[in-house]
Every structure is written in structure tokens, then in C-alpha cells.
């Protein structure tokens, strides 16, 4: 099977998975709050456990992906998500829920904003996709990948009009379809592997330096996202009294906006360069996010507050996702092929470990302090993250010169 067909199958696998996680990203928090009647603090712990397990698995399976091959490792980890959904369908005991959170990586997502639940598969899938592309088409393929996943996640969000049980069953079916779609994909990289390439001592020094840079930016990125994004559906329900089905509509619109915003990535990056693209888009999304929990202060009429909140959310998610395809393509271009799974796994871990801590403390702050506090903290962290991008990539405007700048 040629690379074109393999790329299509990888896209299909990602689409099926994103339909499932798009639905789960909207309803998980609502289900825990409305059906199981958990407090924000317990919900935060649930999200935190998911966000802790995902980076651990990302590091471990990322390195295995470089050692044994991407597809073999994907076949091991793709069943984790359907298994976690089965637990949610069959159990309500809190310890079992935490097991489901650990397997599914729930709380890592930020509901269509930065990847979906079950994010442990993302690094391996990105590396497998990178193996099927080259530097000329990689950014375009990644933009198409993000477009497809965002549209699929948006469709999944619409499933919130169904009952919780029906949504879980549909998510289970699509998560299994994601596994089946990967089965025919070839993995020539695994066929050419040498066990010696896995030895970290033999990794290129430039790879290590590049990974450290993306780990640093990923850490602040994860901290800022973990503070707020797992709770976004609850913001609309608790603060603005929006019904579950309408929340699904809001996140559907967010997915559509995110999808078409990702199409602008190659155009904007070509015109502005990587640094300016990140600084501009992240600055706009950060301002929109910090204003979101204050919408009920803007007017005395709830419908006006809802409209303002919708505009802020759509602005946040649109500008949030624009730089993501470029970041993924950039990382895959900079590191050598035998470090790709490791690089994406480390970046994922750097993002999700602080996200886990943030989600736990955010639930506590919402319960015992004020809803706005995590958003204000996220604003500060995101500004610091933007500064790091400017610091590390200040002399880089095109991909042609970036590697020499980074490894000096």
C-alpha cells in the first residue's frame, strides 16, 4: 500500500477517534456533575488523573514507537479509549471512574481546543503521519489532519443532544473503528529499525536540544490549558444556565471554526513567520479566554451574556488552533526520523503533567475561591508562554533557517 492510501487511513483513524472524543469532551464533566453529582474538586481530580496518566504513557509509548515501530505501538494503545468508555458505561464507583480517566486520558483535551481526550495516541499518530510525508507537503498534510479532526470533533459535539448512555455507546463504536482503520497501514520504518537506534546515548545532540525547547514551551502551554479548558462545558452550564444540547451546539460551532482556522495556517505562517504567527494568535486567544468567566458582569440580560460568551469562545478556539499544525510540522522536520515518537511523546508529557496538576487545583479553586481565579492564572501563564516562543525563536522567520538557529 502506498503512502497516499496510508495517509488516508491515518486520517480516517484520527477522524473516528475525534468523533468519539468530541462527544466525550463535551459530556464527561457534565455527566460527572449532573448524573453522578460530583463536586468540582472531585471532577478536577478525575481530570487530573487522566492528565497524569497520559504523559506517562506518552513518554513510555513514544520511546517504544521509535524502538518497535509506530503502528505496533498504536495497536497497543488505541484500545485504551474504548475500554475507558466501557468502564463509564458500566460503573459509577469513583475508583473505577479514576481508572477510566487514566486509560482514556480524560481532561487532557480542552474540548476541541488543543487535542482530544485519549491523547496518548496523538504522538504516535503524528510520528506515523510524518513518516508518510516530506518537508514539502508536511505542513499542508498536518493542516488537513487538524482540519479533519476538528470537523470530526465538532460532529461529535452534536451528539450531546442524545442521552448520556447513547453518547457513550456511539463514542465506543467510533473509538473501535479508529483501531480498525489503522490495521492495513504499512510501517516501513519498523522494518528498518535497529535496536541500537533506541539507545538514548546515540541520539543526535541536536535532537535533544530541540526536544528541550519544545518541552519548555509545552510545559507552560499545558499549565495554562489545564487550569481552564477541562471545565469549559461546565462554565456554560453553571454560569450561563445553558442546557446540555445547546452546549453541544456551541462546541460544534467551535469545532467548525477550529477546522477552517487550521486551513489558514500555511498562509499566515508564510506571511508572518512562525514566531509572529504564534505571538499574534496566542495573544488574541489569551485575551478572549480570560474574559470568558466575566461575561455575566457585562450586562443584566442573560441572552446578551450568552452571545458575548459565544463570541469569546469562538475567538479563543479559532486563534488557539491556528499555530498547532505549524508546531507539529516544525517539530517533525527538526528532529531525525528515529526520534520522532520520542519527541512528540516528550512534548505531550511536558504539556500534560502540568495540565494534570492545574486541573486538580483548578477544581479546588472553583469550589472554594472563585470561578474567575483559574482564568486569571491561565492568562498570566499564557503570556509567559508567548514570551518563551519569542525568546527561543526570535531569529527564526522561515523553516529554512530554523534548525541552525535552534542548535547553536
Residues 144-186: tens digit of each pLDDT: 887 788 788 878 878 888 889 999 999 999 999 999 999 888 7
Residue with cell 442524545: 162
CA–centroid distance for 52 within its chain: 14
**What count of other Cβ atoms lies within 10 Å of the Cβ of residue 163?**
12
pLDDT of 299 reads 60
Residue with cell 505496533: 72
pLDDT of 177 reads 94
pLDDT of 110 reads 41
Q: Which three cell numbers stand for residue 168?
A: 457513550
Residues 50-105: tens digit of each pLDDT: 877 877 787 777 777 767 777 888 888 899 999 999 999 998 899 999 999 888 87
User: For residue 257, how many C-alpha atoms fall within 13 Å in the half-sphere facing its CB?
Assistant: 20
Residue with cell 513518554: 59
Evaluate whether 98 touches 114 at the Cβ level (below 8 Å): no
CATH of domain 3-184+204-406: 1.20.1250.20
Q: Which three cell numbers stand for residue 330?
A: 516544525
pLDDT of 399 reads 45
Count Cβ atoms within 10 A of the Cβ of residue 184 and give its class: 0-12 exposed, 13-18 middle, 19 or more buried.
exposed
The rounded distance, in Å, linking the Cα atoms of 332 and 388 is: 20
Domain boundaries defined on the chain: 3-184+204-406
The rounded distance, in Å, linking the Cα atoms of 142 and 365 is: 37
pLDDT of 301 reads 63
Residue with cell 489532519: 145
Evaluate whether 25 touches 116 at the Cβ level (below 8 Å): yes
End-to-end Cα, the chain, rounded Å: 40
pLDDT of 230 reads 74
Intervals of the chain under pLDDT 70 = 1-2, 66, 107-119, 135, 139, 188-205, 298-302, 326, 329-330, 337-338, 340-341, 394-408
The rounded distance, in Å, linking the Cα atoms of 115 and 98 is: 20
Amino acid at each position: 500500500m502506498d503512502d497516499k492510501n496510508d495517509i488516508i487511513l491515518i486520517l480516517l483513524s484520527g477522524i473516528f477517534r475525534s468523533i468519539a472524543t468530541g462527544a466525550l469532551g463535551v459530556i464527561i464533566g457534565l455527566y460527572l456533575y449532573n448524573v453522578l453529582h460530583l463536586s468540582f474538586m472531585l471532577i478536577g481530580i478525575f481530570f487530573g488523573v487522566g492528565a497524569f496518566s497520559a504523559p506517562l504513557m506518552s513518554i513510555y509509548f513514544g520511546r517504544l514507537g521509535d524502538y518497535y515501530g509506530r503502528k505496533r505501538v498504536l495497536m497497543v494503545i488505541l484500545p485504551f479509549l474504548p475500554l475507558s468508555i466501557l468502564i463509564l458505561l458500566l460503573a459509577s464507583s469513583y475508583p473505577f471512574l479514576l481508572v477510566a480517566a487514566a486509560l482514556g486520558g480524560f481532561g487532557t483535551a480542552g474540548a476541541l481546543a488543543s487535542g482530544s481526550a485519549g491523547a496518548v495516541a496523538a504522538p504516535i499518530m503524528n510520528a506515523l503521519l510524518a513518516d508518510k510525508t516530506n518537508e514539502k507537503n508536511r505542513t499542508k498534510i498536518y493542516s488537513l489532519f487538524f482540519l479533519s479532526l476538528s470537523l470530526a470533533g465538532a460532529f461529535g459535539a452534536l451528539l450531546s443532544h442524545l442521552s448520556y448512555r447513547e453518547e457513550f455507546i456511539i463514542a465506543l463504536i467510533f473509538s473501535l473503528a479508529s483501531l480498525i482503520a489503522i490495521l492495513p497501514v504499512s510501517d516501513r520504518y519498523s522494518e528498518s529499525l535497529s535496536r541500537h537506534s533506541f539507545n538514548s546515548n546515540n541520539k543526535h545532540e541536536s535532537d535533544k536540544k530541540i526536544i528541550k525547547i519544545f518541552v519548555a514551551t509545552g510545559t507552560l502551554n499545558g499549565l495554562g490549558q489545564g487550569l481552564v479548558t477541562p471545565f469549559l462545558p461546565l462554565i456554560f452550564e453553571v454560569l450561563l444556565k445553558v442546557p446540555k444540547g445547546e452546549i453541544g451546539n456551541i462546541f460544534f460551532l467551535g469545532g467548525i471554526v477550529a477546522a477552517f482556522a487550521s486551513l489558514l495556517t500555511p498562509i499566515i505562517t508564510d506571511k508572518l513567520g512562525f514566531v509572529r504567527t504564534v505571538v499574534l494568535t496566542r495573544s488574541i486567544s489569551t485575551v478572549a479566554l480570560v474574559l470568558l468567566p466575566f461575561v455575566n458582569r457585562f450586562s443584566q440580560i442573560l441572552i446578551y451574556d450568552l452571545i458575548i460568551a459565544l463570541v469569546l469562545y469562538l475567538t479563543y478556539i479559532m486563534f488557539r488552533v491556528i499555530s498547532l499544525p505549524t508546531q507539529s510540522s516544525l517539530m517533525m522536520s527538526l528532529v531525525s526520523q528515529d526520534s520522532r515518537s520520542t519527541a512528540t511523546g516528550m512534548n505531550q508529557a511536558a504539556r500534560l503533567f502540568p495540565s494534570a496538576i492545574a486541573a486538580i487545583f483548578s477544581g479546588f479553586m472553583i469550589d472554594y475561591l472563585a470561578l474567575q481565579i483559574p482564568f486569571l492564572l491561565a492568562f498570566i501563564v499564557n503570556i509567559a508562554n508567548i514570551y518563551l516562543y519569542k525568546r527561543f525563536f526570535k531569529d527564526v522567520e522561515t523553516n529554512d533557517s530554523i534548525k541552525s538557529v535552534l542548535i547553536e
